[in-house]
Amino acid sequence: MYKGKIFGPIFLLFLLPFGVLAEAAMDTTETSVRSTTWSLIGEAGSFAPAGWSSEEIPALTRVQAVRMKLEVNTLVDERFDPIKGKNAALKFYSSEAEPLQADALVIESGAVLLEDLAQAADLPLRVIEENNPHLLRDVLPKGTNVYGLGIALTSMDALAMVERQDAYTADLKAQYERRRKQVLSFMPDPTTHSASTYVVRSGDYLGRISARTGASVSDIRKWNKLKGNTIYPGQKLTVWMPKGKEVKAETIAAAPKKKEEKKELATASTADGSFLTYEVKPGDTLWSIAQKFPGISADNLKSYNKMDALIKAGEQLKIPTQMITDYSPEKYPGAQ
């Protein structure tokens, strides 16, 4: 870190009227530097005091930094600049303080990648990052100081770095745009369709869900990034449907039941959340009850009702609707 140390000449790269970069060295006359012990506090980008401070000089708030013409944005917080940040704090709290100076490289023609600067200076990237705590990303913004490189770039080298950064940024934007279009292509027009969550029941398959929702199998796969046809009970699928349209009643079912059995189930079952309630009749067994509800086994009944195999007439059993493979409100009117 920089603690008031004076470095050698400051090399500046700036854009001339004809777009040519040139180097200029600042006056290297040494100035007296306070014997102040500086330290960094706070978080970059915050509105609270942050950056360089000492016992005598507090750190600047974001508002104060802007008043001192420091840059504070997502790429750089010059309150943390080893020279500009300290000088701004000194000037804000003491107009008679002498400014600090140090070696700096400034590229006025555009932004460059820190990785390119590290390669040009033959330094590890982490060294540049440690010496420049004001740089918040992997990019040196246009017109921002960078310290500790020990090099003076030629015009051609600087322009090449700027061009690489421009190409890098353009590539990131192109990738983002491709990804955005890809995501949008997965979804219907949100002004005419709305997304619903379908919870897969035991016995469900994509064709059955397609029949119930009206969405094609290929769309269901696309919306949920399914590579094949495998789904499992309890899985939540996103299904886009035209606004105002409801899920159809089950149209694919097992073999039809006798009318009297269907009537018996309807009168014997009442709604209980996600369960049907079945009243045990004389002669019933768990196996015979399970046969009335496709997809339900005797073990399911024992598990959901926390019981053993012994049942008696009049006892109330819960039948989970999500496990009934041919479930629909029409077939089982006691369920919600």
What distance in Å separates the CA atoms of residue 131 and residue 22, rounded to the nearest whole number?
A: 25
Q: How far is CA 194 from the centre of its chain?
A: 23
Domain spans, the chain: 11-170, 193-242, 259-323
Residue ranges, the chain, pLDDT below 50: 1-34, 249-273, 335-336
Assign 123 to helix, strand or coil. coil
Under CATH, domain 193-242 is a member of which superfamily? LysM domain (3.10.350.10)
pTM of the entire structure? Answer: 0.46
Q: How far is CA 267 from the centre of its chain?
A: 51
pLDDT digits (tens, 9 = 90+) for 6-32: 333 333 433 322 222 223 323 333 333
Length of the chain as a residue count: 336
Beta bridge partners, 242, equal 193
pLDDT digits (tens, 9 = 90+) for 174-219: 887 776 665 555 666 667 777 788 888 888 888 888 888 888 888 8
Do residues 137 and 128 lie in contact, with contact meaning Cβ atoms separated by under 8 Å?
no
Judge if 193-242 and 259-323 fold alike in CATH terms.
yes
CATH number 3.10.350.10 given to 259-323: yes
